[in-house]
Amino acid sequence: MSDDGKQATMPASMNGAHPDAAMRSLPDNLAVKCPKCRELLLGKDWERNLKVCPKCGHHAQLTAQERIDLLIDEESDFEQIDRDLVSNDPLKFVSLSGTDRSKLDGLADSTGLKESVVVGSGIIDGLPVMLVIMDFRFLGGSMGAVVGEKITHAIEIATYERIPLLIATASGGARMQEGVIALMQMAKTSAALARMAEAGVPYIVLLTDPTTGGVTASFAMLGDVTIAEPGALVAFTGPRVIEQSMHIKLPKDVGYAEYLLAHGMIDGIVHRRALKATIARLLHLYDDAEKAMN
């Protein structure tokens, strides 16, 4: 895969003309600083550039809604499932400062999300696809019972309907506050993926910044095809943790998408501007294969 973004087709909702796309959240004249190189940009230019820094190429995190808008043909085609599932705090988790319930409620207010993943079906370049899109803003994209259930449900629907599955990861891993229940979601999602693989339904993984821990060590590494955004941190143990625990200094590239590509872990790195076209190409290849079988 060698898409460098040059032949990009810009999705309608991302070209600045869409009236209510979630990307149009910033006032046009607001200044935004690139989180990496500190370049100052106008809000409208930042959004028009899909939150990719024109100077250094840094791909900033997208919200789940922004990611969905970026990928699917028509926003109205997106049918979200399991929107209302929330955790009931199964461990009655006792934090150092009381329980964590209030924190969860506060998050739901600020992000408009009830959990760290949005799941549903949509159309990409005319082809149906099941979408699982993680949102790092909600408790670091962490996976608890709800995330595991929503993802498993999506995998099961995709398997049953024989629709390709796309998961865009962004997660710090399993959610500590749900203990082993959270850990077991790694096994639960992987078990569903085993059945999907057996059924011969394609599974595409898009690794976005950052993806670490238990999410990396389960469904993020089980794709039939795996692509990443440039510069995305993708690791089991993050480079800072390795440096601290092993008391060593690591080369700068360790743990990033380019490093994974060099070590044979992923199939390609795709600029955000070429993302939709790249995924569409892949979907058409599988779609043609499925048609040839029937």
Partner 1 sequence: MLAFDLDFEKRLADVDKRIQGLQKKGSKLKGDERVKLNEYQQELETLMREVYGNLTTWQTVQVARHPKRPYTSDFIDLMCENFFELRGDRRYGDDRAILGGLASLDGETVVILGNQKGRDTKERMECNFGMSHPEGYRKVLRLLRHAERFHLPVITLVDIPGASPGLEDEQRGIAQAIAENLMVMSALRTPIITVVIGEGGSGGALGISVADRILMLEHSIYTVASPEAAAAIMWRDSAYAASAAEAMKITAKDLKQLRLIEEIIPEPLGGAHQDKAEVAASVKSAILRHLAELRRKSTEDLLECRYQRYRDIGRSAIANLPVGALP
Is 53 a binder of Zn ion (CB under 5 A)? yes
Is the link from the previous residue into 210 a cis peptide, with omega within 30 of 0?
Answer: yes
CB of 159 to partner 1, least distance (A): 8
Pick one of 21, 34, 167, 282: the residue that binds Zn ion (CB under 5 A): 34
Return the range that interacts with Zn ion (CB under 5 A); candidates 39-47, 97-105, 127-135, 207-215. Answer: 39-47
Query: 55 or 195, CB closer to Zn ion?
Result: 55
Is 250 a binder of partner 1 (CB under 8 A)? yes
Is 42 a binder of Zn ion (CB under 5 A)? no
Is 36 a binder of Zn ion (CB under 5 A)? yes
36 binds, among partner 1, Zn ion, none (CB under 5 to 8 A by kind): Zn ion
CB of 129 to partner 1, least distance (A): 16
Is 232 a binder of partner 1 (CB under 8 A)? no
- How far, CA to CA in Å, does 82 sit from each of 35, 118, 152, 282? 33, 8, 11, 27
Is 265 a binder of partner 1 (CB under 8 A)? yes
CB of 23 to Zn ion, least distance (A): 18
CB of 239 to partner 1, least distance (A): 8
Nearest-angstrom CA–CA distance, 263 and 256: 11
Burial profile 64-87: b = 16 or more Cβ within 10 angstroms, e = fewer: bbbbbbbbbbebeebeeebeebeb
Cβ atoms of 139 and 111 within 8 Å: the answer is no
Strands 165-171 and 203-211: parallel
Which parts of 172-275 are beta strand (E)? Answer: 203-211, 225-228, 268-269
Is 80 a binder of partner 1 (CB under 8 A)? no
Return the range that interacts with partner 1 (CB under 8 A); candidates 1-9, 18-26, 51-59, 152-160. Answer: 152-160
Is 58 a binder of Zn ion (CB under 5 A)? yes
Instruction: For residue 39, give both structure tokens.
Output: 């370049």
Nearest-angstrom CA–CA distance, 129 and 123: 6
